[in-house]
Amino acid sequence: MSIHTDIDGPNPSGLSAARSASFMASYLDALTLVERLHRLLLDVIKDEFERVAILEINAVQALLLFNVGDNEVTAGELKTRGYYQGSNVSYNLKKLVELGYMHHQRSEIDRRSVRVRLSEKGRNVRGIVSKLFTTHADGLVDRDVLDHEGLEDITASLRRVERYWTEQIRYIY
């Protein structure tokens, strides 16, 4: 990949063109990796649910149940927390209610708003995902893939990128 670094004029940070191209290549590689890891996570969850013969929900829905946990939330709150984007939250919540994984109740204050919480069936799914994540966390440590400090470093870096991107959305556009 060839990256032309002076498209917008001189490089204001004073970095050499080679270093800027190198950083850009690493940045694009990291973006690809984050996307691939998300897809792999969904595949891992899907495989686990196939193994335990729960086929009526997909990996996104199982992850949604995990993230709701013991809370009672609206679709808007799930979007605000950054777990999900767009209309697929409402679709997945509706599906999970229809399948008996969640209970729903209209808000007394705003009749348009629906609050959802896990049913017993939903809590069972949450438990399966939680056990899967615990097994993976143990495996990462046991096989020396990642230790606590390394994980904290990755998480801190990703949070800085998240803040940067959030600022770009809020303040630039």
Q: Which of 65, 74, 82, 64 is nearest to 109 (CA)?
A: 74
56's enclosing H/E stretch is none
Whether 155 is in a domain gets the answer yes
Whether 140 is in a domain gets the answer yes
pTM above 0.85, yes or no: no
Q: Please say whether the beta carbons of 42 and 92 come within 8 A.
A: no
Whether 132 is in a domain gets the answer yes
The pLDDT score that the predictor gives to residue 102 is 96
Q: pLDDT for 112-163, tens place per residue?
A: 778 899 999 999 999 999 999 999 999 999 999 999 999 999 999 999 999 9
How many C-beta atoms surround the C-beta of residue 65 within 10 A?
Answer: 25
Tally of domains in the chain? 1
- Grouping H, G, I as helix, E, B as strand and the rest as coil, residue 151 is helix
- Which tokens in the block code for residue 168? 């770009």
Q: pLDDT for 42-90, tens place per residue?
A: 999 999 999 999 999 999 999 999 999 999 888 778 877 766 666 688 8
Whether 13 is in a domain gets the answer no
Q: Check which CATH number belongs to the domain holding 80 and give it.
A: 1.10.10.10
Q: pLDDT for 10-50, tens place per residue?
A: 555 666 776 788 999 999 999 999 999 999 999 999 999 99
Residue 89 sits in which domain range?
A: 56-168
